[in-house]
Structure 1
Amino acid sequence: MSLLWQCGIVLAVVVAAASAANEDFNVDCEKHSIKVTWKVSPELVEHAARLFLGHCVPSTFSVLPTGEGMATFHYNLNGCAIKKRVTGKKHIYSTSLTYRPNRKPKPAAISHHIKCVYISPEGWIPPFLIPAYGSAEGHGGLVFHMALLNEDLTGLAKSSLFPLGSFIPIWAAVDQKDHQPLLLLLEECVAATTPELQSASLVYPIITNKGCLADGKTGNSRFLPRYHSSAILLYLQSFKFALGEEVSGPQVLCMTGLFSYCSS
């Protein structure tokens, strides 16, 4: 994990209630790992190999004097098919604690939902948004990126359709590679009703005059604060053209970005 993530703080732990009265389990959300202890009934002791956290079997298992079994799962958050989701300022890890007497796809006989929630470190940025950084100086071609992001700015948008009036997060970046630190600017940007600009295309100016956000004067479109000099995030408020043509994504949103860069 990154050094930034090592500063994460545990916010909360949420687990589903046990479905049987004679079952008990405890969850500890640690900095980089999760530890689950599960006390199971004597009937399940001889089936300890069918107990799972995600797809991991117990890291240790012992039989108590009462005849009950104690299964301990202690694994890294990146293992055991634990799912990670980022929502706002929270990093959520979730999985299931199960007893599976039969192999998949047959359902589990016992299942408990396990979830650990962490606060994102201040200034944390999704790794895929950070352009590559190289040495202090060098030569080579530049690679530019431009894409629509999802609502949380944690990944690429799964759909190119946006409700009228909602914001379309537009991300642009340049890989620095072996260049000196670069400053990325958007000089010109327009919206059109056709995938490619044509003489008959309806065009609406978004960025003009070498970086002026024209749409920000009459609408709520805006640039987000920079997290890196070689990347830029634009919140474009979706709208309709006068004739009712929608601007809703790459199919009808034609972004002509003239990228400028300079050493800082």
Structure 2
Amino acid sequence: MATFHYNLNGCAIKKRVTGKKHIYSTSLTYRPNRKPKPAAISHHIKCVYIRPEGWIPPFLIPAYGSAEGHGGLVFHMALLNEDLTGLAKSSLFPLGSFIPIWAAVDQKDHQPLLLLLEECVAATTPELQSASLVYPIITNKGCLADGKTGNSRFLPRYHPSAILLYLQSFKFALGEEVYIHCKLVAWDPEVFDIEKKACHYIKETGEWELLDDPSQSDLCKCCDSSCKPRLKRGVDSGILRHFISSLTKL
């Protein structure tokens, strides 16, 4: 029996972060003869580790794609690579491929915050204008509309103050630069309503699901109509509200 010892960052080992797991994979190949002779043995190796509690990805760079909102909160938005382990090295994506979009708000000394994407559109201009060609992605106060027409979805959170949108690239404004504009909202993580939510469409069940608590998915039923509350929450309700418009370029 042979034993091999390699660092997880070496030997062409690929890392992927999905849900609550870190997955490392590579192939062990035994080739007694030089190429082009085929390998005698090729064995796929996969190591799965449960994500440590409180783990935060290493790409959290405060200066990248940040903007300051009301009340001094600092928001961040960026494109990630396909493994979700760092920032994307390119802003070119083949049609139908997935674009991981990360957004976060700095906690600092604030009470715990939940980050939500209230509205997102793709546009052909870095500033939204009446003449801008737009494509709706998230509408109706947090409904991922593109997930119903395509396969876009939210990924499980690694922290309430950040959100990962797994956006499937779509045909839009061919030959032009495309910008993603979003309204980011920092909210109380213990309170959801039809205006403060993150909902995506599950095609297997044909229903909308609340990202942060599927048992409250009834809040997402309005995604097919209009998500307007009967009563507006007053500003003295004690719920922290902050809004910011951010963009990231594809």
Q: TM-score, normalised by structure 1?
A: 0.50
Q: CA separation of 1:28/1:123 partners in 2, compared to 1, >3 Å: closer, same or farther? A: closer
Deviations along 1:120-159, one digit per CA (max 9) or x if unpaired, are 5212555326799xxxxxxx73211100000000000000
SS in 1 for 2:147: helix
> Is the Cα–Cα contact under 8 Å of residues 196 and 254 in structure 1 kept in the other structure?
no
Give the Cα separation in 2 of the matches to 1:83 and 1:28: 10
**C-alpha separation between the residues in 2 aligned to 1:245 and 1:204?**
13
Q: Is the 8 A contact 1:131 1:230 kept in 2?
A: no
Partner of 1:127, secondary structure, is coil
Structure-to-structure mapping, 1:54-133, within 5 angstroms: 86-88=14-16, 89-90=23-24, 119-123=47-51, 127-128=57-58
The SS at the match of 2:188 is strand
Letter in 1 for 2:146: D
Superposition deviation, residue 85 in structure 1: 5.9
Question: Which residue number corresponds to residue 245 of structure 1?
Answer: 174
Alignment check: 8 A CA contact 1:131 1:174 kept: no
Match of 2:159 in 1: 228
Give, as a single letter, the amino acid of the residue that structure 2 aligns with 1:127: P
Letter in 1 for 2:78: A
Aligned-residue CA RMSD (Å): 3.2
For the pair shown, the structure with the greater C-alpha radius of gyration is: 1
Alignment coverage as a number of residue pairs: 155
CA distance in 2, matches of 1:225, 1:197: 30
Q: 1:260 aligns with which of 166, 181, 186?
A: 186
Distance 1:207 1:142 in 2: 22
- The runs of 5 or more residues in structure 1 that have no matched partner are 1-12, 14-25, 35-76, 93-116, 133-139
3-state SS of the aligned residue for 1:200? coil
CA distance in structure 2 between the partners assigned to 1:228 and 1:179 by the alignment: 15
Please give the alpha-carbon distance, in whole angstroms, between the structure 2 residues aligned to 1:230 and 1:131.
15
Moved over 4 A (4+): 82-86, 129-132
Tell me: higher relative CO, structure 1 or 2? Use CA pairs within 8 A at least 6 residues apart: 2
Amino acid at match of 1:216: G
**How far apart, in 1, do the equivalents of 2:90 and 2:147 lie?**
24
Distance 2:137 2:74 in 1: 23
Distance in 1 between the 2:109 and 2:96 partners?
Answer: 41
1:210-251 deviation digits (Å, cap 9, x = unpaired):
10111111111111111211110001111123xx5368xxx4
